[in-house]
Structure 1
Amino acid sequence: MNRSTEQHLQALGNDGFVLLPGVLDSAQVKLLRHAIDGLQAFHWDYSGGLIEHYKCVFNRDPLWLAFLDLPGVIELAEAALGEDCHIIGQTAWRCHPGYQGMSLHLDYLMMDVAPALMADPAFELPMQICTVQLYLDDIDADLCPTRVVPGSHRAGRAPRKNEQSWQGRPPQVVLCQAGDALVFRSELWHAGSDNRSADRSRYLLQVHYGRRMVAQKFSPYLHFQFNPAVLAAATPRQRRLLGEHAETEYD
């Protein structure tokens, strides 16, 4: 494990999140924005309102494959979740002016844990899922900044209704540049923010990684089929991320 990956992994353990600068270059940002503009809603996707959300974009075109194993990101995901981790989703978003952000929440908690145990510095809850948010805009206070509560992954529970801080720590606004990536654990308390800009839409690509035994649930589920063009273009590592694993006791 290189030094930067080790430092980023430590930040995920201490704070529950880490911001990686300059993961994408300007050409990649432009490419992704254009690709998101061309997406069509399917199954549980939604579009046409103040927010657009597109699931399983990895399966629509080989273009999206390169963003499953970006340098600096995939090494962190594998260090956190194991070298046999895989993706459990890749989602694209556009949030338009007037969009109202989500309240404080966590994405997934493997189990509720007693506060006394979580407070023990020697105890570490194993990470099962992490999310990478690839920002395709310069994010300022008006353009839907993500808010994170440092250390809240150690709460051992989800935030209660109307709860706005953890151990006196309020949400911290993540301001960053187009091409930066925010990586956070699924137990981290986080929230979206309103789009208060007059004429800007926030573009975002997410990749969700899970441990080998975290199920891949790709909509439309029983009717899901891999795109042959995507499989043909995928590298061995990308095929593993899509679910081509070595045999285990449960397969």
Structure 2
Amino acid sequence: MPRTRHAVDLLRAMHGHGFVLLHGVLAPQQIEAVRTAIDRLEPIHWDYQGLVDDHYKCVFNRDPFWLPFLDLPGVIELAEACLGDDCHVIGQTAWRSHPGFIGGELHADYLAMELPERCLSDPGFELPMQVCTAHIYLDRIDADLCPTRVIPGSHRAGRKPRPGETHWQGREPQPVLCEAGDVLLFRSDLWHGGSRNRTADRSRYLLQVHYGRRMVAQKFSPYLQWRFNPEVVEAATPRQRRLLGEHEASEYD
């Protein structure tokens, strides 16, 4: 990412707050195209279509259509600034959350190690990020349409929330309310959670992209049976091929 003032501010927010909300990343026609594509998905491997939600893993491997959403302008540059120019994708998931859906409790996705909170309280210390997730919202998210909830700065807890823990340093989770086409990028050690779909007739459409440093393994299900779709590989740009795992030789290759 070019070191413009805006880019520096975004990276500082990732270190300070643990997340950034990027506005207007997708145009209306892109939003509609992705929603339509999600509606056409059928479950394979470990995907599922449930009573209140539908979940599709590794959708990038289904069709070249999904490739541009791995490196959206503004999102990929920030991901690379957080994780290095040789970062890669470790997942891309499509979700539909229907009325009655109940989101996950407060949690952190991944910690490379636990550290004493006193070590992380120094504002001059920046804990390197290992994994970041982009939530690409395909609906206007209000308080009733299962907004993502985050606790700013909670990645400095140095640990995951304990069972039943609902706040950190007196801070309660706050909902991320946004417009369709906005993208929330957050680090994997940030305390966050889901919420309910309290609407009567609306489903939340969401596309997730998970990015990891090069040394974070790409664990694409169904694992030993995994095969890249040749059509996807053929259509990928050089940057997208690197995101899919085509790296230059390194220490352990």
TM-score by length of 2: 0.98
Deviations 1:83-122 (A, max 9, x none): 0000000000000000111100000011000121111222
Partners of 2:120 and 2:233 in 1: how far apart?
42
Partners of 2:7 and 2:183 in 1: how far apart?
14
Partners of 1:19 and 1:222 in 2: how far apart?
36
> What SS does structure 2 have at the residue aligned with 1:125?
coil
Aligned to 1:157: 159
Deviations 1:33-57 (A, max 9, x none): 0000011111111113211111000
CA root-mean-square deviation: 0.7
Aligned to 1:132: 134
2:176 maps to 1:174: yes
Corresponding residue to 1:101 among 100, 103, 114: 103
Aligned to 2:224: 222
Corresponding residue to 1:85 among 76, 84, 87: 87
Corresponding residue to 1:119 among 118, 121, 133: 121
Q: Which amino acid aligns with 2:26?
A: L
Question: Where in structure 2 are there 5+ consecutive unaligned residues?
Answer: none
Aligned to 2:18: 16
Q: Which amino acid aligns with 2:113?
A: M
Aligned to 1:191: 193
Question: Where in structure 1 are there 5+ consecutive unaligned residues?
Answer: none
Partners of 1:246 and 1:93 in 2: how far apart?
33
Partners of 2:6 and 2:49 in 1: how far apart?
38
User: Which deviates further from its counterpart, 177-186 or 44-53?
Assistant: 44-53
> What SS does structure 2 have at the residue aligned with 1:141?
coil
Partners of 2:18 and 2:50 in 1: how far apart?
34
TM-score by length of 1: 0.99
Tell whether the 8 Å contact from 1:5 to 1:72 is kept in structure 2 after alignment.
no
Q: Among all aligned residue pairs of Structure 1 and Structure 2, give the percentage whose two residues are the same amino acid.
A: 68
Partners of 1:56 and 1:113 in 2: how far apart?
32
Deviations 1:116-173 (A, max 9, x none): 1111222221100000000000000100001000000000001111111111110011
Partners of 2:66 and 2:5 in 1: how far apart?
28
Partners of 2:224 and 2:151 in 1: how far apart?
37
The structure 1 segments of at least 4 consecutive aligned residues displaced by more than 6 Å after TM superposition are: none
Q: Which amino acid aligns with 2:104?
A: M
User: Which deviates further from its counterpart, 228-237 or 3-12?
Assistant: 3-12
User: Which deviates further from its counterpart, 122-131 or 236-245?
Assistant: 122-131
| TM superposition shift of 1:205 | 0.1
Aligned to 2:66: 64
Equivalent residue pairs, number: 251
Deviations 1:28-82 (A, max 9, x none): 0000000000111111111132111110000000000000001000100111100
